Amino acid sequence: MLSVNAKEIEIYHSALISSPLSDLREAFIQPSDPATEELAFTPKRTVEIPDATPCLLALARNDTRLVIGLTNGAIAVFDTNALFTAGFDGVFPLHTFPCNSPVAPKLILPNPAHMPFVAVLRGPDASLNSPIVEVLNVETMQSVSGWRSAGTPETTPTARVYTFSNICRHV
């Protein structure tokens, strides 16, 4: 589950559901159905993801893009304004970045604030042509760079996430 600006997004089978956080809290306060022991909750928006199961979520470009890593290796980019607006009309990805191999992404890291770049870390697979680290521009919907392995442990791209505390220790 991902909480964004008092909104909740939850992966539900091969669909995303979206509602204000206050709706979810109210559903937990209400008594459940005694026959099924289920909560009475109706999301404001349900978005079907028919091609694959979502495995990673990340917000990018000042929270205006929801980047979803799929188990088939593809990366789907959605407009959050459409996702967070109640309705029954279809919401489709602005763009889907295909993948040369069926390896699901391991990590999606957006740049802070308004910068439109997202780094995608994938696990190595049998194909040396597939990038292990790919940088995507979620504004122009282009793959702008990437790194791939030359097949040896010394040439495998690696990444490390630095937090403010890590940076202070290394300075």
Cα 100 to the chain's mean position, in Å? 19
The residue extents of the domains of the chain are: 2-170
User: Cα–Cα distance between 67 and 8 in angstroms, integer?
Assistant: 15
pLDDT confidence of residue 171: 42
Query: Would you report the helix, strand and coil content of the chain in percent, each value rounded to 5?
Result: 15, 35, 50
Q: What is the pLDDT of residue 10?
A: 53
Supply the pLDDT for residue 168.
Answer: 46
Chain segment 42-99, per-residue pLDDT in tens: 888 888 887 788 899 999 999 899 999 998 899 999 999 998 888 888 889 999 999 8
Mean pLDDT of 147-153: 68
What CATH topology corresponds to 2-170? Answer: Methylamine Dehydrogenase; Chain H (2.130.10)
Residues 112, 129 contacting (CB under 8 angstroms): no
Model confidence, pTM: 0.74
- With a cut of 60, say whether residue 111 has pLDDT above it: yes
